[in-house]
């Protein structure tokens, strides 16, 4: 049966062109099996019953109701790392913009553009925009995921002394870090020692407001803080006071809001971190591949509300996938339902994530609708598919 995909935002054709002849783009949300989205708000949206998956072409998923989707058996994907290079390049540019008053110098040149002796004028006045070099300075990178790791490696290559902090860093990500990056066990060392601090952490209850007035007081005088993660990671009232007092030299943020755009000493960028053609293309391609693999094979990669689980392409007669609550005896009930229909299991895997879990079962006989209904009737089951 033709699978239908609805785009809530304009999605790069480099992504949608990957859809095969088994897929159709639809303008009608109510008939969508999958949704591709960038920034469109979904919290108030009525999710269609047949919807199976949402793929966010980007990393942040604040615009998607994750719990609501999970309860309806809708898997939500994001695309970590697809836009990492674009964000990394802007962070590096921002390190320099915060160190050298390039913006002020450009604005000054525009203000004297009608001066016939502009060349002489700038030679006399340019000292007002002198800055400092980043080579040899200490940079603290908080969060060593896809973006943070790239920032750390690039800054080390530019001659900065780089400190990296991430208590949850994966083994693979740790292997990707340059040996010149000092992996430390406490963010307090970054606050005390670093000339520049850049944030690359997700928005969680534990990270909201993490750059507080107290934390700012721990920092070196004249520190530069860069925020390319979320505006609410920083107590902006405390930041404004720190900028006014000179405690913080510059605050660079990619998140304009009424508070940040009125801060003296803030460099406010209009959310351009991933706004490159390459990042948008990469995110779109990754999102489409994720949603196709799930719809066709049941595999989950880079989900933010269900566990990752991948059994490749089914080689058996059929595959049954079950999204369910993470409660005891669920696997036993699923296998019992299959045994009652004399269906033999050739392979199976189960993964859990907090309140939710996912079971994939490859079977030697294709399951009929009666079998699917028997599994669906199990208390705690949220969605069953026979592939």
> Residue for token digits 């566990």?
307
- Please give the average per-residue pLDDT across 363-369, as a whole number: 94
30 Cβ contact list (under 8 Å, min separation 6): 48
67 or 167: whose pLDDT is higher? 67
Q: Where are the alpha helices (DSSP H) in 100-247?
A: 102-111, 118-125, 146-157, 171-176, 187-193, 213-218, 236-245
Residue 11: strand, helix, or coil: coil
377 Cβ contact list (under 8 Å, min separation 6): none
Q: Bridge partners of 207? A: none
Q: Which pair of tokens denotes residue 118? A: 């502009």
DSSP conformation class of 178 = -
The predicted model scores a pTM of 0.83
Is 112 a residue whose pLDDT tops 90?
yes
Q: What is the DSSP string of 45-85?
A: PPPPTT--EEEESSS--TTS-HHHHHHTT-EEE--TTTTHH
> Which pLDDT tens digit goes with each residue over 240-290?
999 999 999 999 999 999 999 999 999 999 999 989 999 999 999 999 999
**Pairing of β 318-325 and β 345-353:** unpaired
pLDDT for 234 equals 98
> Which pLDDT tens digit goes with each residue over 139-198?
999 999 999 999 999 999 999 999 999 988 888 788 889 999 999 999 999 999 999 999
**Pairing of β 182-184 and β 161-165:** parallel
Q: Is the separation of the CB atoms in 101 and 267 below 8 Å? A: no
């Amino acid at each position: 049966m033709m699978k239908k995909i609805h785009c809530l935002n304009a999605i790069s054709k480099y992504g949608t062109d990957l859809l095969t002849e088994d897929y159709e783009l639809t303008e009608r949300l109510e008939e969508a099996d999958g949704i591709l989205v960038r920034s469109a708000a979904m919290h108030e949206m009525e999710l269609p019953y047949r919807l199976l998956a949402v793929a966010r072409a980007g990393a942040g998923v604040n615009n998607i109701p994750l719990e609501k989707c999970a309860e309806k058996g809708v898997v939500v994907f994001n695309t970590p790392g697809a836009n990492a290079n674009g964000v990394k390049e802007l962070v590096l540019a921002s390190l320099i913009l915060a160190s050298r008053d390039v913006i002020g110098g450009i604005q000054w040149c525009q203000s004297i553009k009608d001066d016939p002796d502009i060349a002489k004028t700038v030679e006399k006045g340019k000292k007002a925009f002198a800055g400092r070099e980043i080579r040899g300075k200490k940079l603290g990178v908080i969060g060593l995921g896809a973006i943070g790791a790239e920032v750390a490696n690039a800054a080390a290559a530019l001659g900065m002394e780089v400190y990296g902090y991430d208590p949850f860093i994966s083994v693979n990500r740790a292997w990707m870090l340059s040996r010149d990056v000092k992996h430390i066990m406490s963010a307090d060392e970054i606050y005390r020692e670093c000339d520049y601090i850049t944030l690359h952490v997700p928005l969680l209850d534990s990270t909201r407001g993490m750059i507080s007035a107290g934390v700012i007081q721990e920092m070196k005088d004249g520190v530069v803080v860069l925020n390319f993660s979320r505006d609410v990671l920083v107590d902006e009232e405390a930041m404004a006071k720190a900028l006014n007092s000179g405690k913080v030299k510059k605050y660079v943020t990619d998140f304009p809001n009424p508070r940040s755009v009125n801060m003296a000493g803030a460099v406010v960028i209009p959310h351009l971190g991933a706004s490159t053609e390459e990042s948008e293309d990469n995110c779109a391609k990754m999102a489409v591949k994720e949603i196709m693999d799930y719809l066709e094979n049941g595999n989950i990669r880079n989900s933010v509300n269900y566990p990752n689980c991948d059994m490749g392409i089914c080689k058996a007669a059929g595959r049954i996938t079950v999204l369910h609550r993470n409660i005891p005896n669920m696997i036993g009930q699923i296998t019992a339902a299959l045994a009652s229909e004399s269906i033999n299991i050739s392979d199976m895997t189960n993964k859990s994530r907090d309140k939710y879990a996912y079971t994939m079962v490859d079977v030697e006989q294709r399951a009929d609708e009666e079998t699917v209904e028997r599994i669906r009737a199990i208390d705690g089951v949220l969605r069953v598919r026979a592939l």
